């Protein structure tokens, strides 16, 4: 049995930054103003992290649980309005090929899919419903953004939640994470899970994303055959295609050697055991 966990923003869909807009308006509604912050500081993080960060920037102290609840409620209240505005501005769109990919996965009884997202279950459902993807996912299992600020813990929690839901045990080698930032990749690696990232229209730090060295780096979901080979659901009739992907059973020497500009740092990421120093670059 395999478990495929999906991020939402920048992965299943491009939401046009509606989450950040909703958070800013929620803070303005609650406290009269929102502190300044860089979008990249919140990209790929959990809602708990983001709510805590903006509160601390504004108040100079960590929020209590009741403050997090207030921000959450105000945020969820603003989200439908932002979705309507983003759609009107034509900035809300599904990732190319995503519905076809999800439909394809449904044909494999040995594959279960769920969410591993920084969103709350409520915000996740609102966004996916707006994109017509809500029927593909069960919002009672998976990993969501108020569980923890730590992305690796969120993934582990999501896997345990799915084990309980589906009454089966998933080994780390059975778990495949699909996201769009280096946070997704590093969290997957810390748990021993497989990782893939989408590079189209995301707000990720591209340098850190490349340094994180996911097993699979693609623009979108259009190349379904490539994903199926990565998931070991389909054999590659042509063997290993260098510079495109690494399958879970492939040796390190086959990775990215035909990629233009490959450097030693990228290859080191596959071998190191500790990823906590990536932010500061100390791993090199």
Mean pLDDT, all residues of the chain? 83
The 10s digit of each residue's pLDDT in 172-202 is: 999 999 999 888 999 999 999 999 999 876 6
Average pLDDT on 42-57 reads 85
3-state SS class at 162: helix
Instruction: Report whether pLDDT(269) > 60.
Output: no
User: What is 2-13+93-280's CATH number?
Assistant: 3.40.50.1000
Q: pLDDT tier at 206 (50, 70, 90 boundaries)?
A: confident
The enclosing H or E element of 155 equals: helix 151-166
pLDDT score recorded for residue 276:
52
Least confident window among 50-59, 93-102, 244-253: 244-253
> CA-CA distance, 95 to 82, in Å (whole number)?
19
Average pLDDT on 216-235 reads 92
> CA-CA distance, 216 to 280, in Å (whole number)?
24
Cα angle 145, 77, 51 (rounded to 5 degrees) comes to 35
Q: Where are the domains of the chain?
A: 2-13+93-280, 17-88
pLDDT score recorded for residue 252:
36
Contact present, 114 and 142 (Cβ < 8 Å): yes
């Amino acid at each position: 049995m395999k478990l495929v966990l999906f991020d939402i923003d920048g992965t299943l869909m491009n939401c046009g930054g509606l989450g950040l807009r909703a958070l800013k308006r929620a803070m303005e509604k609650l406290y009269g103003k929102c502190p300044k912050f860089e979008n990249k500081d919140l990209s790929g993080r959990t809602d708990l992290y983001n709510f805590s960060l903006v509160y601390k920037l504004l108040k100079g102290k960590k929020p209590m649980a009741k403050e997090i609840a207030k921000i959450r409620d105000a945020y969820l209240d603003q989200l439908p309005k932002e979705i309507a505005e983003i759609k009107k501005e034509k900035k809300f769109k599904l990732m190319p090929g995503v519905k076809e990919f999800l439909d394809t996965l449904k044909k494999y009884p040995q594959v279960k899919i769920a969410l591993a997202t920084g969103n709350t279950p409520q915000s996740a459902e609102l966004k996916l419903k707006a994109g017509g993807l809500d029927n593909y996912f069960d919002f009672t299992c998976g990993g969501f953004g108020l569980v923890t600020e730590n992305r690796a813990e969120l993934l582990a929690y999501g896997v345990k939640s799915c084990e309980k839901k589906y009454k089966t045990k998933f080994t780390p080698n059975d778990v495949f994470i699909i996201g769009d930032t280096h946070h997704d990749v590093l969290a997957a690696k810390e748990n021993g899970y497989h990782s893939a990232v989408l590079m189209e229209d995301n707000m990720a730090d591209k340098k850190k994303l490349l340094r994180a060295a996911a097993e699979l780096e693609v623009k979108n979901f259009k190349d379904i055959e490539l994903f199926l080979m990565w998931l070991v659901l389909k054999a590659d009739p042509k063997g290993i295609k260098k510079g495109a992907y690494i399958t879970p059973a492939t040796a390190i020497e086959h990775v990215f050697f035909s990629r233009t500009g490959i450097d030693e740092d990228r290859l080191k990421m596959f071998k190191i055991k500790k990823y906590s120093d990536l932010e500061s670059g100390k791993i090199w």
